C-alpha cells in the first residue's frame, strides 16, 4: 500500500519510453521519410509515444546492414560457443530489465505487468537462454554413400532472416524467432506490429549491449502493407518467419512467390478445441476453459475458443462456469489489483470482437455471461466483458472464425468419436486440449486430433524446448524447441572421393 501511494495509486511503476526510433546497424535512427506513427495506451486510447515509421527505404537500409553483417561480419563466423556466450549475456540483460520491459509491454498491449513479467518476459529470457545453449550444438552428419565416395553435411546459417511479429505477445514472439536465428548465425530484420513497437526496440539495444555485433539485429517498426510487405518481398532476404493472421500469411507467401522464392514459415490463426469429458473434475475443467479463453484477454492464437463438453457434464459445467465468471474482474491492470483481464489491444480489435459478439447474438447463440462492455470500466479504454455463448452450433460464424478476444463458445457432444470428428472439423489446426481421467480416452484424442500441440488436463503450458506451430490453415514451421533452428539453417551436402581418382 505504501508503495502504491508513492506511485499515485498505481500498483506498478509507469515505464519511461526511451527507444522510439528505428534500430539499424546498431544505431537508433529516424525514418528516411521523417515520418512517425503513434502507439496508444489501450486503457485510455491516449498516445504513449510517437515512433519512427519505417517504409521501403528503411527496410532496404536495414536489409543492407544485415546483409553486410552476414556476408562480411564476424557473427556467422565466430564459434558457436562464443555466440552462445553473447546470447546468454543477452538473456541476463533481459532478466535484469524484466520489470521495465514488463511495464513497457503492458502499457503498449494492455497487459498485466506482473503476469507479463512472469510469462512474456520470462519466456523471452528462457528462449534466449535455451538457444544460447544450442548455438554450439549445431552439426551435420556423415554419409556412407556408394563405394568410392563419402560425404557429410554442413548446417550453415541461411543468411538474412525477415521476422514479422504480431502484437499479442510481442516480447515472446521477438525472442522465440530472434534467439534461434542468432544461434544459427543469421543476421535479421525484425518488423514488430504497429500496435506494439516498443519492446522490440528495447530488446535491440540490449542485444547490442550484450555484444551482438551491429547489423545482426535490426528493428524496423512500421505498418504491414508498407514495411512488412517490403521485407516479405525483398530480393535480399533469405527467409521469412511470420506470426499473425491467416489472411496476411497468405500475402507473405505470395510476396515470396513473386520475389525470390524465399522459404516462408507461418504461425497463423486458430480455433482450437478443448474437449471435456463427463468423468473430468468439473472445477478443474471450468478453470481450464476460463484460462484457455480469457488469459491475455483472449488475444492468443491458441485460445481454446471451441469448448466441447460431454452431455452428462454439460449443465453442471454451465452452472459452475457462470458462477466462476462472477469473480472474474475486468479492469486497469496497472491500478486494480483484482484485475484478471485488461483492455483489448486497440480500437480496431475492440470493435472487431464486439461485432463478433453481436453476430453471435444474431445467429441465435445464448449468452451465458458477458456480451458487451463492462459497466464498471466507464467509457474509456478498450475493455470487453468475458463472454460465454452456449447453444452454439458449428455452422455459426462465432464457432468457425477466429475472434481473437474474450469469447468462449460452448458446444455439447455425446461420444468420443463425435468429439474427435467435431474437433477436427475446422480449417485450423493449432492447439487442442482434452480433459479426462481416462487415459485411454486421452490417448485416443491425442492420436486423432490434427493440431500442432495437444494439452492433456492442462492448457497453454509451453516451454523453450517444446515445439510450437500449427497444421492446416494455422500454418507450418515450428518456433521453440530444436526444430526451430532448422528454419535458419541451410543443409549443404559435401561429397569427396575415397581415393584420389575414382575414375
Residues that bind ligand ADP (CB under 6 A): 164-166, 191, 193-194, 223-225, 228-229, 232, 244-245, 248, 251-252
CB of 36 to ligand ADP, least distance (A): 16
Task: Rank residues 23 and 317 by Cβ distance to ligand ADP and give the closer one.
Answer: 23
Task: Rank residues 190 and 489 by Cβ distance to ligand ADP and give the closer one.
Answer: 190
d(CA 456, CA 437): 10
Greatest Cα pair distance, the chain, in angstroms, is: 85
- The DSSP H or E segment spanning 416 is helix 416-424
CB of 251 to ligand ADP, least distance (A): 4
d(CA 142, CA 160): 27
d(CA 263, CA 217): 20
Retrieve residue 226's grid coordinates: 508498407
CB of 205 to ligand ADP, least distance (A): 20
Retrieve residue 454's grid coordinates: 495437444
CB of 488 to ligand ADP, least distance (A): 19
Task: Rank residues 75 and 294 by Cβ distance to ligand ADP and give the closer one.
Answer: 294
CB of 12 to ligand ADP, least distance (A): 26
Tell which residue, 287, 304, 189, 298, has the closest CA to residue 236.
Answer: 189
State the pairing for strand pair 453-456/431-435: parallel
CB of 68 to ligand ADP, least distance (A): 23
Strands ordered across the beta sheet of 366-369: 366-369, 387-390, 407-413, 306-310, 273-276, 431-435, 453-456
SS3 78: coil
d(CA 338, CA 112): 11
The CB-nearest residue to ligand ADP is 224
Distances in whole angstroms, Cα of residue 141 to Cα of each of 150, 175, 484, 490: 11, 28, 18, 13
Task: Rank residues 295 and 334 by Cβ distance to ligand ADP and give the closer one.
Answer: 295
Task: Rank residues 193 and 419 by Cβ distance to ligand ADP and give the closer one.
Answer: 193
Task: Rank residues 139 and 250 by Cβ distance to ligand ADP and give the closer one.
Answer: 250
Residue 143: left (phi > 0), alpha (psi -120 to 50), or beta?
A: beta
CB of 97 to ligand ADP, least distance (A): 23
DSSP codes of every residue in 230-297: HHHT-TT--EEEEES-HHHHHHHHHHHHHTT---EEEE-----EEEE-TTS-HHHHHHHHHHHHHGGG
Tell which residue, 157, 159, 164, 156, has the closest CA to residue 233.
Answer: 164
Other beta carbons less than 10 A from residue 323's beta carbon: 11
Task: Rank residues 212 and 403 by Cβ distance to ligand ADP and give the closer one.
Answer: 403
- By annotation, the residues acting in catalysis are 267
Q: Which residue has the cell 474482474?
A: 329
Amino acid at each position: 500500500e505504501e508503495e502504491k501511494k508513492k506511485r499515485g495509486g498505481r500498483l506498478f511503476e509507469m515505464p519511461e519510453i526511451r527507444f522510439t526510433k528505428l534500430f539499424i546497424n546498431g544505431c537508433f535512427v529516424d525514418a528516411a521519410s521523417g515520418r512517425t506513427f503513434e502507439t496508444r495506451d489501450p486503457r485510455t486510447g491516449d498516445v504513449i509515444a510517437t515512433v519512427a515509421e519505417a517504409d521501403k527505404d528503411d527496410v532496404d537500409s536495414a536489409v543492407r546492414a544485415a546483409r553486410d553483417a552476414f556476408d562480411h561480419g564476424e557473427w556467422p563466423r565466430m564459434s558457436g560457443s562464443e555466440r552462445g556466450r553473447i546470447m546468454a549475456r543477452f538473456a541476463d540483460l533481459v532478466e535484469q530489465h524484466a520489470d521495465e520491459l514488463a511495464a513497457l509491454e503492458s502499457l503498449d498491449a494492455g497487459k498485466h505487468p506482473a503476469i507479463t513479467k512472469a510469462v512474456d518476459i520470462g519466456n523471452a529470457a528462457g528462449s534466449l537462454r535455451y538457444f544460447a545453449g544450442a548455438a554450439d550444438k549445431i552439426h551435420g552428419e556423415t554419409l556412407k554413400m556408394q563405394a568410392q565416395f563419402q560425404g557429410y553435411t554442413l548446417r550453415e546459417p541461411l543468411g538474412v532472416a525477415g521476422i514479422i511479429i504480431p502484437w499479442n505477445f510481442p516480447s515472446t514472439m521477438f525472442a522465440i524467432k530472434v534467439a534461434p536465428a542468432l544461434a544459427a548465425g543469421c543476421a535479421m530484420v525484425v518488423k514488430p506490429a504497429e500496435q506494439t513497437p516498443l519492446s522490440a526496440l528495447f530488446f535491440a539495444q540490449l542485444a547490442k549491449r550484450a555484444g551482438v555485433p551491429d547489423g545482426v539485429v535490426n528493428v524496423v517498426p512500421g505498418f504491414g502493407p508498407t514495411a512488412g510487405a517490403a521485407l516479405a518481398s525483398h530480393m535480399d532476404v533469405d527467409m521469412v518467419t511470420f506470426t499473425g493472421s491467416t489472411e496476411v500469411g497468405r500475402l507473405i507467401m505470395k510476396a515470396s512467390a513473386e520475389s525470390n522464392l524465399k522459404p516462408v514459415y507461418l504461425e497463423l490463426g486458430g480455433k482450437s478445441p478443448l474437449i471435456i469429458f463427463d468423468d473430468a473434475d468439473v472445477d478443474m475443467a471450468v478453470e481450464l476453459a476460463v484460462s484457455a479463453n480469457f488469459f491475455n484477454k483472449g488475444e492468443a492464437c491458441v485460445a481454446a475458443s471451441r469448448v466441447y463438453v460431454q452431455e452428462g457434464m454439460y449443465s453442471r459445467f454451465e452452472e459452475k462456469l457462470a458462477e466462476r465468471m462472477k469473480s472474474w474482474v475486468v479492469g486497469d491492470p496497472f491500478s486494480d489489483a483484482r484485475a484478471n483481464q485488461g483492455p483489448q489491444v486497440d480500437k480496431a480489435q475492440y470493435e472487431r470482437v464486439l461485432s463478433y459478439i453481436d453476430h453471435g447474438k444474431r445467429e441465435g447463440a445464448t449468452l451465458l455471461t458477458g456480451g458487451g462492455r463492462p459497466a464498471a470500466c466507464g467509457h474509456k479504454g478498450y475493455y470487453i466483458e468475458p463472454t460465454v455463448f452456449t447453444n452454439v452450433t458449428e455452422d455459426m460464424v462465432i464457432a468457425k472464425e477466429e475472434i481473437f478476444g474474450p469469447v468462449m463458445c460452448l458446444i455439447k457432444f455425446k461420444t468420443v468419436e463425435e468429439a474427435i470428428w467435431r474437433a477436427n472439423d475446422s480449417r485450423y489446426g493449432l492447439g487442442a486440449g482434452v480433459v479426462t481421467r481416462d487415459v485411454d480416452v486421452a490417448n485416443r484424442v491425442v492420436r486423432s486430433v490434427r493440431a500442432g500441440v495437444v494439452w492433456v488436463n492442462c492448457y497453454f503450458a509451453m516451454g523453450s524446448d517444446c515445439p510450437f506451430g500449427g497444421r492446416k490453415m494455422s500454418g507450418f514451421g515450428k518456433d521453440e524447441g530444436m526444430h526451430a533452428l532448422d528454419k535458419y539453417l541451410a543443409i549443404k551436402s559435401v561429397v569427396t572421393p575415397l581415393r584420389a581418382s575414382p575414375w
